[in-house]
């Protein structure tokens, strides 16, 4: 991924980054999040709701290692991980999904239901 593409995508509004994320993940079947030194998912909070952050590329996740997340470790996940682990984690922790935050700014925040619907719809284009 080149610097110009990163700048272009990062400059998109949150809804645009969300659409980019959904398309990229449906195509590659991988995504990224951050974990702490113990391998636990790093969550953020917005208006008393826990947020689980996701990015479509390691480079974008790296841009968010600021404001308390400097020691976060980027973890690659795939659609099997999403189905077998992440969905349950998000549901159990009562999280919303923070798709593609940039630096210390919140991304596009969606419920698990909305996220699953949108990703499922996009995956139909790849089957």
Question: pLDDT grade, residue 68 (50/70/90)?
Answer: confident
Mean local confidence (pLDDT), 56-62: 96
- The domains of the chain are located at 3-126
More confident residue, 65 or 67: 65
Fold of 3-126: Trna Endonuclease; Chain: A, domain 1 (3.40.1350)
CA nearest 52: which of 84, 18, 98, 19? 98
* pTM attached to this predicted model: 0.94
User: Which residues lie below 8 Å from residue 70, measured CB to CB, with a gap of 6+?
Assistant: none
What angle (nearest 5°) sits at the alpha carbon of residue 68, between those of residues 71 and 25? 70
Give residue-wise pLDDT tens across range 70-111. 999 999 999 999 999 999 999 999 999 999 999 889 999 999
């Amino acid at each position: 991924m080149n610097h110009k593409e990163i700048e272009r995508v990062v400059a998109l509004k949150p809804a645009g980054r969300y659409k980019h994320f959904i398309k990229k993940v449906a195509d590659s079947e991988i995504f990224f999040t951050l974990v702490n030194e113990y391998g636990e998912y790093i969550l953020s909070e917005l208006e008393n709701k826990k947020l689980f952050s996701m990015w479509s590329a390691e480079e974008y996740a790296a841009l968010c290692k600021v404001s308390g997340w400097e020691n976060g470790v980027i973890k690659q996940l795939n659609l099997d991980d999403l189905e077998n682990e992440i969905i349950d984690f998000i549901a159990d922790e009562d999280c919303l999904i923070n798709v593609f935050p940039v630096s210390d700014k919140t991304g596009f925040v969606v419920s698990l239901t909305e996220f699953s619907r949108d990703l499922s719809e996009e995956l139909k284009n790849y089957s």
